[in-house]
Every structure is written in structure tokens, then in C-alpha cells.
Structure 1
Amino acid sequence: MSATRRQILARTGASVAGIAFSGALSELFAGTAAALGHSPTGYGPLVPDPAGLLDLPEGFRYKVLSREGEPLSYGQGLVPGNHDGMTALPGRRGRLHLVRNHENRATARLGVPTVEGLTYDPAAKGGCTTLTLDGRNNVLEQRVGVAGTAVNCAGGPTPWGTWLTCEETEDKAGTNGYTKDHGFIFEVDPNDPHRTGAVPLTAMGRFQHEAIAVDPESGIVYETEDAFQKPFGLFYRFLPEKPLGGTGSLRAGGALEAMRVPGVPDLSVIQETGARFDGVEWVPVPDPQAVQTPIRLQDFGPKGITHAQKLEGCYWGGRAVYFVSSFARTRDGSAATHFGQVWKYEPHRRRLTLVVVFGPDTDIQLPGESPDNICLAPTGGLMVCEDGDGAQHVYGLSRRGKVYAVARNAQNIGTPEAPEWGEFAGVAFAPDGRTMYVNCYTPGTTFAVTGPWC
């Protein structure tokens, strides 16, 4: 069961944070540098930033790559706000592309500019922007990747070097001023956004998407649903007609299925790390387009389907897909309460295992609950963006069961008397492992963090 934090950390310098979770951490790092037996256990206290932007351990430095309101390249307009999920993809001639989501709703103050050939619904203000960097993290250009989408939260990279951006909404045409249905996945090619355009991958389902992960062997795409109200979201898999076919292959269609864990209608009731369920079933989705009824409310037969609250981060590691339930609360309608879970599904065994349970915190200033975006670090650890109350951190989890602060948002968007800090999102590493990239959601800021990553 989850363990309560046992160390009290200074507000200005969290180091190793003691026990903030329980579980088999080695499960999370399959296929990374952790296989070499190396995993850091912390980089020391966080040092307050005199500029009031980002607190980091001593020896680390940040560079602001992009802030909302700055000009985009080619006269496309201004950098949108609400920076969310992001990935780092290798480009041509030694360059690097960051593909960044903007979780903008119809009322957003600073939406993604509409660009001819890249806009799905001119009434929608979400989408993606791309940043192209040289080898020294200098921004060579930043431009629109896709526009006219809505509430682009997270997504995931593909094995062929593109980004799948997910709409976290089910709004249909005529709602909130939209002219087209929303709730889809769109593909963004950072080398040439016009190559992918603004085409919804409708066969992958219309629901409140959060994140995806692609099995690099089979091409199956796993998808999480972050539904806000009960019944909560489902965990899906998409079986493409043309798996691993490169850019555009997902447009060929495929079959969408939802996960059923026999005897478990709500994953929140599972509290013991290591709990394992064999014989996981995949049930065809009756109506992937949700023409009349949201998918999670559709009839999956007398055995029902398995739900979970706040299904968010999703990634592939080793031979398994991992997905995050950020939290569950009985007051919201969940069957049980928890402060964050990481689940592992092994397709070749049809086995689901609960590998990590987070929190609870004893101090909302400290990390340790409500995990959101997650990435595997080249150093053999896990980096987690915190999306909870109080101060917001990026924190690492070591294989030895230590959680340590890597960064803290110092941009106060509240008042001196009642401070507030925007969440972190989109943590990702450069392919060479020398730079960590991360977004501050509000005010929209993209950082490059360098230092003694080891």
C-alpha cells in the first residue's frame, strides 16, 4: 500500500524526498540506461532563482527557449499560451525539434494562429507549435504545426518521428462555437507540418484523449482517456490497418478496442502494488465516433468495461506499455481514493500489474502526488511533472525508491499573500541525454535544462 512521506523538506531546497510512493521501480525503467545499473538518487537542494523563473539544483542551468506572446517565425502570429505535452525529436543536419501542445479552449486569450493548410476548425484555438533547435539549444525557428484543434493536452511520439497530438474534449460542431466535431488525434510532422496537415485520425476514436504510446514492434497504439465525470475514462488500443507504415499510415484506419479487466470495473479499488491480473480482455468499441453516445457510456455487453479516473501519462518501455492514473477520489465518484498510480500492461502476456502508488503528501509544498506527464530519463530514472496543489515540481524517481526534486516553478501567478504556481508539463530529453526540456503551463514557458545529468 502507499507509504506516507517521512521526511520534511525545506521549502527552498528539497533534496531526496524519502518515501513518497511504493512499488517495483525497476519495472519502470526497462529499456533505458538503468539496465546498466546506474540511477541517480538526487542532485542536491534546489537553489532559488534570482530571476524568479525556475529553481534548480546547484550546477544546473536553464535557458528560456520560448514564451507565450513572442513572435512566431514566418509572420505566423504569436506563440500561444497553455503549454502542455511535448516531445523532442531528432531533425535533419543535427537539429532537434520540440513539438509542443497548447491546451486552449474556445475562450483562450492567446490561441494557436490559423495557417492555411494546417487548420482543422478555424473556430478552435488549440493545436501544436514546433521549435527547431541547433546543437546549442538556440532556437532557429518556431512555427505552427497544426491549428484549429481543441484542448490539445498530451499525446506521444511515433517510431517514424512524428507526434500524435490529442484533443481532450468531446465537443461537437455547434458547441462553444466550433464548426466541426472534436475529440480526435492529429499527426504532426515537425520536419514538414504541411505533409501531415490537419487531418483527424477518426478511426482512433472520438473521446477525451490524453496520451498515447506506440508498440514499436506491432505498431499498436495505446490511448488514455481523461474523462472528467463518472463514468470515468477507459484504456484503449488501436490496431492500425497499416502498422508502422510511417507518416500517414494511421489514416488507413483500423480497429479500436477498450480494456476489460475481468472482475475489476474500477481500477481505483486496487491498492496493493504488485497486484497482477492475467487474462486481460480487449473489447471492440461499438461506435468509435461516439455519434450519439460517448464511448465510455456505450454498451460493452453484460460484463461491462473497466474504468479509471484521470488516466493521463502513457509511455512504452521494454516490452510493455505504462499508463498513469493521476488520482482517484470517492467524492468524485471513484470506488476508492488514491494519490496516483502507474500501471503496466504486457501485451504478450495479457497481464496488467500495478507497479507504483504515489503519496499522500504531508505538505502541499512538496512533490509526491498527482503525477501527470512522465518520461524515462537517459540516466535510468523517471521524470514526473507534478500537477497538484501548492508549489509545482519536476521530480525524479530512482530505481532505489527515492524521489528527488529536479526543478520548481518560481513564476508566481498569484499574489505575495496567496501565491500560485502553474503546473509543469511536457518533460522530455534530447536524444543525447544532455538536455531536459519542460514546459511551464502558465505563463506558457519552454525551458532547456542542462547540467551534470549522470
Structure 2
Amino acid sequence: MERRDFLRAAVVGGTVATLGFSVTRESIAYPAKTGPSPYGALQAADANGIELPAGFTSRVIARSTHAVANAGYTWHSAPDGGACFADGAGWIYVSNSEMSSGGGGVSAIRFDASGNTTDAYRILGGTTRNCAGGPIPWNTWLSCEETDFGYTWETDPWGVKAAVRRDAMGQFTHEAAACDPDRKVIYQTEDTSDGCFYRFIPTTWGGLSAGGTLQVLVENGTALSWVNVPDPDGSPTPTRDQVTGAKIFNGGEGAFYRNGTCYFTTKGDNRVWAYDAANNQLHVAYDDNLTSNPPLTGVDNITGATVGDLYVAEDGGNMEICIITPDDIIAPFLRVTGQSASELCGVALNPAGNRMYFSSQRGTSGSSSGGITYEVTGPFRTSL
């Protein structure tokens, strides 16, 4: 048996990664192994200090405490998780602000069909440590507070409707959310060393105003199940401690759902997990201890392209966004130089999949007021 196949079938972190499921192009041989990027080697750093593959270019879209071009709106400090939404022939990029003491929130930048910025504005304010979140199918952005009794807020990328706090989704150290329209649930990660993996079942699919049920993933031997959280408000007992046998994850970070699988990251052990929702199985898609010269450390936000590639941003490491291909090869896609006191976050692709957005949360200054939001354009893959 090949080493990678053996590792996939082994018991990893108390979870059996079995071979008994449908093998797809997105799950050929977990865990991912270090290899060559489909885009080739990184080139010398450009004028923005970013090393990119040949044919790709970068530009600065916004800087914290500075006005966004053609908008007159001052971009927020500590930019973090983000996503893109289609807006006619253009699109909107939303970005969280991970500021404390009510200084957080969410801002948005609107682009026309040519990629020019045309507007920028705030869609949520007065909240705390808005870290990651996730888009949901009815074109709203869930922004999550990373604090002990944090909430999930539903926001309008167009800034027309007021943001709404969704209490039923639980009070805990929220990180990211990923919508599973097939099972009509929303997965959530928890950023603590003894955090859990949750799913929220809305009472009425297509909206969150009617509330719903919060559940936590439970492990009993090799079997997984979902159990209701008795007190989603986390008081007096934290949600992660309310259900016996709840599966523990070391520092939950980004989450992204595609084709029956929710991929999510844990920073404490530098892993990318793959929850196979269709078969209710959990797999380790990447572990920096299970490959030579691991390119990805400090795993954080994650997103994916329609072609099947995953992109994972680093909080630390050597400031890279790494690509994980459908044949389970992992390699650097880009590297930011001269910003070792920052972290990369908010990685997202525009609806056409030919532009990538991300932020360096503290930029070259190492301060939250020095955040920089970038765009990368180039020949992103449209087929394998």
C-alpha cells in the first residue's frame, strides 16, 4: 500500500479516515502532499511585494484609514474574512473588521464589469472582532464575532437592509460559516483550542428570521452524529461543553462548502478537514505533519474555485496563500514579502473566478491601522 493511501486509512486524531466512500476528483488521496503548483514557480516580488506565478499581477484595492478610490469611504482597520457577490455585470467584495470593543463590523467595495471600484460603504458597525463568516444563497453575508459570547450577524452586501443579529445561531467564539444548500444547513467553526464544529438548521430555508436549531458534531468511537445544543446562548455553560462526546477541534478557522463536502481549517494543529456531509464522514485533507517540507502553516481562511482548487491563507507561516488541487497536491500560490508581523485573510474569488481578493491584516506596519486589501488578476484555471 502506498504511504498516502495508508495514511488516509489510518486513524488520525481519533477520527477514522476510511476508504468507504465515493472517490471524486475532490477527494482522491487525502491528505494533500507537497508538490508543484499547477501555476508554476513563484516569480520575484512585484512592486507591491507580492511573489506571484508568471502571468499574474497584483494591485492595492484599499488601505486601512485611507479613502477607497472613487468612493470617498475610509476603509476599516484590521480587515479579515471576506467574500464576493455578483452585482449585475460587476461584483461586491465584503470584508470584516477584526477590531475589538465595538470597533469592528463589515465594509463593502463595489466593482463594475471592468473591475473598477465604483463605491464603498459600511454594512455593519459597532460589533466586536468580526473575524470570518460566510456567504449564504439568498445573497447575504454572515459576519461572525470572535469573542466568548460572540454573535453571528446577517448583513446585506448592498447596504440597503440593516444588519440583523441571529441569536439562534449561538453565542460562542465564532469564526467562520459555510452554507450547505443540499442539506439546508449552515456549518460553523469555533476558534478556541477546545472548540467544536456546529451546524445550524434554519426553521425556514431561504431566511433566518424564524430562528432554527443549533447542533454540535459528536463522535462516539468511529461514528459521527449531530446533537442539539441545549442552550445556544452559552450561559452558564459554554456551548462546546454542553453535549457529551462533542468532537473537539484545535482552533477552528475558515470554512468552505462545495459538492457535498465542508472544508474547514484548524490552526492549532495546522489541518484542513473535509467533512463529507453526504456520507457523514470526517477526513483530514491536509496536515503539515503528514507531508515533507509542508508549505502551509498557520492555516486560516479558505475558499475554492469552481474548477476544484482550494485556496488557504496563512496566519503566520511565511505569508502565503496556498493552493490544494483536486488531486491533493499542495503548493504556494502567492507569497507576501516584508510583512512578517501581519496575517493573510479574506481570500475570495469574484463570480467569474478570474480575480482574487485578500487582505494583509496589519500590512507593512504591523498595526491594525496598516491593513491592505489586494486584488490578484491572471490566468486562473477554468478546467483541469
TM-score by length of 1: 0.71
- The corresponding residue for 2:358 is 438
2:26 is aligned with 1:98:
no
Query: Residue 105 of structure 1: SS of its match in structure 2?
Result: coil
Cα contact 2:26–2:327 (8 A) shared by 1: no
Contact between 2:271 and 2:284, CA under 8 Å: does it hold in 1? no
Report the CA distance between 1:327 and its aligned residue. 2.9
Tell me the residue number matched to 2:195. Answer: 233
Partner of 1:341: 272
Asked whether the 8 Å contact 2:48–2:58 carries over to 1, the reply is no
Q: RMSD across aligned C-alpha pairs, in angstroms?
A: 2.8
Is contact 2:80–2:96 with CA below 8 Å preserved after alignment? yes
Structure 2 CA distance for aligned equivalents of residues 295 and 369 of structure 1: 28
Select 1:305's aligned residue among 246, 266, 280: 246
Unpaired runs of 5+ residues, structure 2, are 6-16, 28-35, 364-370
2:119 counterpart (110, 124, 141): 141
Cα contact 2:72–2:120 (8 A) shared by 1: no
* 2:323 matches 1:405: no
- Larger % of strand: which? 2
Rate the CA distance shift 1:52–1:362 in 2: closer, same or farther, 3 A: farther
Q: 2:284 aligns with which of 354, 357, 360?
A: 354
Q: State the match for 1:222 in structure 2.
A: 187
Aligned to 2:345: 425
Could you tell me how far apart the structure 2 residues matched to 1:56 and 1:41 are? 11
Q: 1:256 to 1:434 in 2, by over 3 A?
A: same
Match of 1:372 among 281, 285, 300: 300
Equivalent position of 1:256 in the other structure: 214
Total equivalences in the alignment: 351
In structure 2, how many angstroms separate the alpha carbons of the residues matched to 1:406 and 1:63? 16
What percent identity do the matched residue pairs reach? Answer: 32
- 1:378 partner amino acid: T
The amino acid across from 1:235 in the alignment is F
Matches of residues 281-292 of structure 1 in structure 2 within 5 Å?
281-292=225-236
Structure 1 unmatched ranges of 5 or more: 4-21, 31-39, 107-123, 171-181, 264-276, 329-338, 413-419
Distance 1:376 1:226, change over 3 A: same
Name the structure 2 match of 1:85: 81
Aligned equivalent of 2:131 = 153
Aligned to 2:264: 323
Cα distance, 1:202 vs structure 2: 0.1
Offset of residue 212 of structure 1:
0.9
Residue 358 of structure 1: CA displacement? 2.8
Which residue, 321, 324, 344 being the options, matches 1:394? 321
Aligned to 1:189: 156
Q: Give matches, 1:270-285, under 5 Å.
A: 277=222, 279-285=223-229
Paired position in structure 2 for 1:294: 238
SS in 1 for 2:209: helix
Verify the 8 A CA contact 2:176 2:254 in the aligned structure 1: yes
Match in the other structure for 2:10: none
Aligned to 1:447: 374
Query: How far off its partner does 1:77 sit?
Result: 5.9
Structure of larger gyration radius:
1
Superposed displacement of residue 52, structure 1: 4.3
CA drift of 1:293 comes to 2.4
Q: Structure 1 residues 136 and 324 mapped into 2: Cα distance closer, same or farther (>3 Å)?
A: same
* Worse overlay, 144-153 or 438-447: 438-447
Aligned residues of 2:70 and 2:117 also touching (Cα < 8 A):
no
SS of match in other structure, 1:160: coil
The reply on whether 1:242 has 2:208 as its aligned counterpart is: no
Change in CA separation of 1:27 and 1:428 when aligned onto 2, cut-off 3 Å: farther
The Cα shift of 1:210 comes to: 0.8
Is 1:67 the equivalent of 2:63?
yes
Aligned partner letter, 2:319 = Q
Q: What CA distance in whole angstroms lies between the structure 2 residues aligned with 1:28 and 1:203?
A: 36
With over 3 angstroms needed to count, the CA separation of the structure-2 counterparts of 1:63 and 1:52, relative to structure 1, is: closer
- Superposed, 1:3-14 pairs within 5 Å as none
CA distance in 2 between partners of 1:144 and 1:163 (Å): 13
TM-score (norm 2): 0.83
Alpha-carbon spacing, 1:105–1:74, altered in 2? closer, same or farther (3 Å): farther
CA offset at residue 323 of structure 1? 2.1
Q: Distance in 1 between matches of 2:178 and 2:71?
A: 34
Q: Letter of the 1:57 partner, please give it.
A: P
Contact in 2 for aligned 1:240/1:250 (Cα 8 Å): yes
What do the CA deviations read for 1:362-412 (whole angstroms, capped 9, x no partner)? 87xx722232111112343111112233x2101112233432222111243
1:173 corresponds in structure 2 to: none
Residues 379 and 74 (structure 1 numbering): CA distance in 2 closer, same or farther, change over 3 Å? closer
Q: Distance in 1 between the 2:58 and 2:324 partners? A: 21
SS in structure 1 of the partner of residue 175 of structure 2: strand
